[in-house]
Structure 1
Amino acid sequence: MNETMVCAVGRVATQPVYREVASGPSARFRLAVTARYWDREKNTWTDGHTNFFTVWANRQLATNTAASLTVGEPVIVQGRLKVRTDVREGQSWTSADIDAVSIGHDLAWGTSAFRRAGKAETALAPTQPEPNWETPPDGSAEPAHSAAQRQSESVVLT
């Protein structure tokens, strides 16, 4: 329907909190999104205002979020923006939440190794050989690196 979909790029500000509720798994964490701009006077990049969002994940996304994210990691979150205002004890407050549809590491800052949830044994020992996606520079049939070498060289974000 008429929902506000957003894509926020930032860093995990709090450790994800995982809960089992009646409707299924749920996880939440705070996302810090800091604007950056080029300061001509200083001739350098400068941090601007930081917005904080509470990111909500449900079902399998919640389980994978809790198992994959830690504080400080760069992430990209896509989901529905929910802005709420309320008055409690005479104080007015506003919160901005994102009901996440997808969450992933921002690969502009590092590498990540994907593992399919619940299928660790197949991820470690694939039944079919990995396709050769690389074209060697000399045009020979053998790739520059084998799949095992590429996998051992990958680094997981910490």
Structure 2
Amino acid sequence: MSDVNVTVVGHVGTEPTLATSPQGTDWTSFRLASTRRVRDPRTGEWADGETLWFTVKLFRDRARHVCMSVRKGDPVVVRGRLTLEEWDAPREHPLPDGGTAVVTERRSRQVIEAQHVGVDATRGMVRFARVSDRADQPGGEAVAVAPATDTDPWDLSPDAVPGDASGAVVEEGEKGPVPETVGA
């Protein structure tokens, strides 16, 4: 069997919410918007192109982790299997005599059954928390595991961390970190 696997970079368009199926399986879904940047050949200016919308679905632990980690508007990278969901939807259509008729229309949407969802760290800062699943113990559930180091870089001021917000390369100088100059 050949699956179509895709990687989509975009923004979360709806808040992921956790649900449970009648069989007891946790799941979530959210809408993902991916807008291509296009360059106008006449002016050389960049602008937003067409936005493609996908529904992203996850199950079990992945669903719980995404619901705890991702919010509407977050930039994400999603990788998974592309599928197409189709269904029949009733719709009212006006009639010339003023009445309405209910007709059934075929609808479809592109769905990514996600294997991986990550916040795009090229667009902002991300903090990762490893999870230990203790669901196999009575009354247990997934809990965050503390980092192995005593010093958490997120607790330091930006001046104490090598580098700067622009991502410039730094070298250690006599008086501490000194930004590297390019072409000076």
TM-score range relative to shorter protein: 0.7 to 0.9
Structure 1 residues without counterparts, runs of 5 or longer: 130-146
Q: Which stretches of structure 1, 4 residues or more, deviate above 4 A after TM superposition?
A: none
- For residues 52 and 109 of structure 1, what CA distance do their matches in structure 2 show? 20
- For residues 112 and 94 of structure 1, what CA distance do their matches in structure 2 show? 34
Q: Give the C-alpha shift of residue 85 in structure 1.
A: 3.6
Partner of 1:54: 55
Residue 6 (structure 2) pairs with residue 6 (structure 1) = yes
RMSD: 2.2
- For residues 123 and 99 of structure 1, what CA distance do their matches in structure 2 show? 30
Equivalent residues of 1:76, 1:106 under 8 A apart: yes
Partner of 1:66: 67
Name the CA shift for 1:153/1:27 in 2 (closer, same or farther; >3 Å).
farther
Structure 1 SS opposite 2:146: helix
Partner of 1:43: 44
Partner of 1:25: 26
Partner of 1:135: none
TM-score by length of 2: 0.65
Structure 2 residues without counterparts, runs of 5 or longer: 91-103, 132-141, 159-184
Q: Give the C-alpha shift of residue 20 in structure 1.
A: 2.0
Structure showing greater radius of gyration is: 2
Higher relative contact order (CA 8 A, sep 6+): 1
- For residues 27 and 157 of structure 2, what CA distance do their matches in structure 1 show? 30
TM-score by length of 1: 0.75
Whichever residue aligns with residue 57 of structure 2, its letter is W
Aligned residues: 134
